[in-house]
Structure 1
């Protein structure tokens, strides 16, 4: 169910039957030559729709901007601060709680949003203690990725416009992928990038962190299905 297309006369009764709100959160940033700037928004939206189908939840309008400090200097990237993102999410969460929702699931498509989402969830834990709040970023993907990835990751945590994220897009939003433009770029990421602020232009000119040419729909589906199943279990209180 898409929340924004409901009307005010019917929505209260529908919330009474489904108290689960799902918020896709993404970003606008460089994703190499083969993926669009809104890749993280598309992934968050499509995954949110699949989650909503499984748990009978409402999909909220996408929050389309994220904290993209690391890529802010690349053409097309739009950055918002963690502080802005936290406040925005807290306001949304508190509004949902007042409307009667008891579960607020954020489906994040951009790793850089992680800190803000966690902090917002902590605030909501205090202000809306009767509402469960989740911040999902492909839970359980690590094991699934290790089983099918053909090239080593450029970084132990980051994945970006690479074999993995491009596979997600081929599965969830294939109409926005230009595989003929996919490239291989596995940069050497210095150790200090993990312990001091390091803009990504210091080690990549493309914003691609891997071999996007190896992406397939099948790989994307395998990993996304694992993450989706984990999200469903958590929302249902089974995890």
Structure 2
């Protein structure tokens, strides 16, 4: 039986609910990720990770929110933008529906950084339900934390569309990576004040929407990063939430 909500009949869902209270909700974006990567990188990776995690524990994979707030990338063709308030309300309605049908543990596997504060606000709201627990995995920071020393280009290896992102896609969906178009493009200007949060279009920092050396990406590195991330999430769900 599939563990994806959209594949189940209501009677199959009822049967699965007898063994789990856990639902995993993938979220992502549709935005430029370099000349070599698909617009749906964040969504594809979040959805694949959700499926891999759900195969390790008892969980239902809920609907994917494919588009988020990518306004900082809207200079690049194909980038779609959902305003934060709309994203939050839509996701909140999904969560309230799932809670109605008995799900008490909600894990957001989120592939897009701009979605993080929106999901955090929602998770705070959901605490009005006494028995509901929620947590969020921000995919790219999570992967960086698991394998920071496994990129040849160090810190910049985890930047937008660079070595880490390219490696993960080469492992998960190699047919969607056009290596003939990948580039080595360092950030245009050095950040002299990294401790200050700044707001600017990504096009002011990069011509291709890649920051870093994507040509260092390999499927082997991607396999390591994905397996480390999935294993760590599995540990959390089993040890913290008894999934």
Matched ranges for 1:159-238 at <5 A:
159-187=159-187, 188-191=189-192, 194-238=196-240
Quote the residue 1:123 is aligned against. Answer: 125
Alpha-carbon displacement from aligned partner over 1:61-109 (angstroms, at most 9, x marks no partner) = 2110011121122111001122222222221111111101121111111
TM norm structure 1: 0.91
Q: Which moved more, 1:12-21 or 1:135-144?
A: 135-144
Aligned residue among 49, 52, 70 for 1:50: 52
Structure 2 alignment gaps of length 5 or more:
none
Q: Which moved more, 1:136-145 or 1:214-223?
A: 136-145
For residue 174 of structure 1, report the CA deviation from its aligned partner.
1.5
**SS of the residue 2:134 aligns to:** strand
Quote the residue 2:89 is aligned against. Answer: 87
Structure 1 alignment gaps of length 5 or more:
none
Alpha-carbon distance between aligned partners in 1 of 2:61 and 2:227, rounded to the nearest angstrom: 19
- Rate the CA distance shift 1:145–1:174 in 2: closer, same or farther, 3 A: same
Alpha-carbon displacement from aligned partner over 1:22-75 (angstroms, at most 9, x marks no partner) = 111010000111111111111011111001101121112211001112112211
Alpha-carbon distance between aligned partners in 1 of 2:239 and 2:48, rounded to the nearest angstrom: 22
**SS of the residue 2:169 aligns to:** helix
Quote the residue 1:133 is aligned against. Answer: 134
Quote the residue 2:21 is aligned against. Answer: 19
TM norm structure 2: 0.90
Paired residue total: 236
Q: Does 1:148 align with 2:150?
A: yes
**SS of the residue 2:96 aligns to:** helix
